[in-house]
Chain A
Amino acid sequence: MSEKEIIPELVRKRRSPFVDVMMRLAKSPLAMFGLAIIFVLVFCAIFAELISPYSPIKQDLMHMFETPSAEHWLGTDEFGRDILSRLIYGARVSLQVGFIAVGIALVTGGMLGAVSGYYSGKLDNIIMRVMDVLLSIPQTLLAIAIVAALGPSLMNLMIAVGISAVPTYARIVRGSVLSIRSMEFIEAARAAGSSDLRIILKHIIPNSMAPIIVQSTLGVASAILNAAGLSFIGLGIQPPNPEWGAMLSGGRQYIRDYPHMTLYPGLAIMLTILALNFLGDGLRDALDPKLKR
Chain B
Amino acid sequence: MDNMLDIRNLTIHYEVESGTVHAVEGLNLTLGRGESLGFVGETGAGKTTTALGIMRLIPNPPGKIKSGEIIFDGENLLDKSEAEMRKIRGEKIAMIFQDPMTSLNPVMTVDKQIAEMISLHKKVTKSEALKLAGDMLELVGIRRERMHDYPHQFSGGMKQRVVIAIALACDPELLIADEPTTALDVTIQAQVLELMKELKQKFSASMILITHDLGIVAEICDKVAIMYAGRVVEYADKRSLYSHPIHPYTRGLFRSVPDIDEDVDELPVIPGLMPDPVNLPSGCAFHPRCSMATEECAKVRPEMQEAEPGHFAACPFCVKKFMNGEAL
A residues near B, CB below 8 A? 6, 9-10, 13-14, 17, 183-185, 187-195, 202-203, 206-207, 289, 292
Contacts and interface: CB of A to CB of B under 8 A. Distances in A.
Interface in B72-115: 86-91, 94-95, 97-99, 102-108
B120 interface: yes
Contacts, number: 75
Given A9-B145, A10-B145, A193-B90, A207 B106 contact: yes
B148 A193 contact: no
B166 to A, nearest CB: 7
B116 interface: yes
A202 B116 contact: yes
Given A10-B148, A184-B99, A191 B104 contact: no
26 contacts: A6-B145, A13-B145, A14-B148, A184-B97, A184-B98, A184-B99, A184-B102, A185-B103, A187-B97, A188-B95, A188-B97, A188-B104, A189-B105, A191-B57, A191-B94, A192-B94, A192-B117, A192-B166, A193-B88, A193-B121, A194-B86, A194-B116, A202-B116, A203-B108, A207-B106, A289-B106
Main SS of chain B's interface residues?
Answer: helix
Interface in B158-181: 163, 166
Counting chain A CB atoms within 10 Å of each CB, which of B57, B87, B90 scores highest? Answer: B90
B308 interface: no
B149 interface: yes
B111 to A, nearest CB: 11
B103 A193 contact: no
A193 B106 contact: no
Interface string B34-57: 000000000000000000000101
Interface residues of B, number: 34
B120 A193 contact: yes
Contact of A185 (B105, B120, B148): B105
A90 to B, nearest CB: 39
Instruction: For the complex of A and B, list the 8 residue pairs with the smallest distance between their C-beta atoms, beginning with the closest.
Output: A193-B90, A192-B90, A193-B89, A184-B102, A191-B95, A184-B103, A193-B86, A188-B103
Interface of B: 55, 57, 86-91, 94-95, 97-99, 102-108, 116-117, 120-121, 144-146, 148-150, 152-153, 163, 166
A183 B91 CA distance: 22
A75 B43 CA distance: 76
A192 B116 contact: yes
A99 B187 CA distance: 54
B48 to A, nearest CB: 11
A190 B57 contact: yes
Nearest to A194: B120
A188 B97 CA distance: 7
B105 A191 contact: no
B128 to A, nearest CB: 18
A190 B120 CA distance: 11
Contacts of B120: 192-194
A193 B145 CA distance: 28
Contacts of B152: 292
Contacts of B149: 13
A129 to B, nearest CB: 20
Contacts of A183: 102
B89 A190 contact: yes
A195 B153 CA distance: 28
Contacts of B99: 184
